[in-house]
Structure 1
Amino acid sequence: MNTLPLKNHVLLLLMSFLTWGFFVLVGLPDYYLSWTYEAKVLIVIAVTIVYIPLGKLLTKKMFPDKEYFKNSIWLAFYLTIPLFIYDTIFIGIVGGEGLKFIPKYWFLTFFYFSFWVQFPLIGLVMEKNLIEKKTN
């Protein structure tokens, strides 16, 4: 099993920061708090759906070694842990919320966990499809 090259770690970290920045901009002026409950639910559903093909594409493009499950774990890591850290700094420390932001911003918190299910499942399906192609 190969280790992930430093270049990939840097790219994933940059991608996570840019993703977080994009979500901050979309959520202006108050990081989604003024959005209705229904709008927050819709954005959670939409982002979840969008990240199905995007997760597959990112896994294929960023990790050409075809170890899709292992690499999907890296993708889950970089799209959850750094974003949680950025949110903790932005909302918790700068915004003065502390860790109380976790339930208050449930629509963000959802992704800290869901991507750990979603991306590995995508990786497993990709590996299964790769194995089936090889056996046919």
Structure 2
Amino acid sequence: MHPQKHMRLLLAVSLAWFLFWVAGLPDYYRQYSTVSMIAFDIIILPPIWLIVYSSTKKTRIGRGLAVSSWLAFYITVPLFLYDLLYCGYYLGHGANFVWEYWYLTVYYFLPWLIFPLTGWWVDRRRREAEVTESECSAAVL
């Protein structure tokens, strides 16, 4: 990816973190029940996955895994660092914030499980479609 793309991604996830932070005030979502937070985590996953899926489909064939891995990086690493600074240091939870704010922690590893598989799957489907298309063209000739 080009450096400009990296900067845009970093700015986008930083803005998203800030908006989620504001929405989670006054207690960074701890004021909600466990059931509500499980539902929230489940509800936001499909739209995030759709963004990754559509971004991966727009890349050249064979780049899906790389692009989806970069997206996993940008959705996990900066957000973890922001949460560490806010929850770990500012709120004083230290490294224990990953347990106290489990609904955030889920999104530190879930993208690494889902996004690369999505990129691999998109690449595989596109290669299969390309092979099928070339076989059809050869059959016509």
**What is the TM-score with the length of structure 1 in the denominator?**
0.89
Instruction: State the Cα distance separating 1:60 from its structure 2 match.
Output: 4.1
- Structure 1: gaps spanning 5 or more residues: none
Of the three residues 91, 94, 104, the one matched with 2:90 is 94
TM-score, normalised to structure 2, is 0.86
Matching of residue 15 in structure 1 with residue 3 in structure 2: no
| Identity fraction in percent | 34
Q: Is the Cα contact below 8 Å between 2:75 and 2:111 reproduced in 1? A: yes
Name the Cα RMSD after superposition. 1.3
* CA–CA separation in structure 1 for the residues paired with 2:67 and 2:15: 20
Question: CA shift at 1:65, angstroms?
Answer: 3.4
Query: Which residue number corresponds to residue 80 of structure 1?
Result: 76
Is 1:109 aligned to residue 105 of structure 2?
yes
1:18-54, Cα deviation, whole Å (9 max, x unpaired): 1211211221221100001110000111122222212
Tell me what 1:25 maps to: 22
Match of 1:57 among 36, 54, 66: 54
Deviates more, 1:44-53 or 1:107-116: 44-53
| Count of residues paired in the alignment | 131
Q: In 2, are the aligned partners of 1:59 and 1:75 still within 8 Å (CA)?
A: no
Give the greater-gyration-radius structure (CA): 2
Asked if the contact 2:38/2:103 (under 8 Å) is kept, the reply is: yes
Gaps spanning 5+ residues in structure 2: where?
Answer: 133-141
What's the CA shift for 1:57? 2.1
Which has the larger displacement, 50-59 or 119-128? 50-59
One-letter amino acid matched to 2:102: W
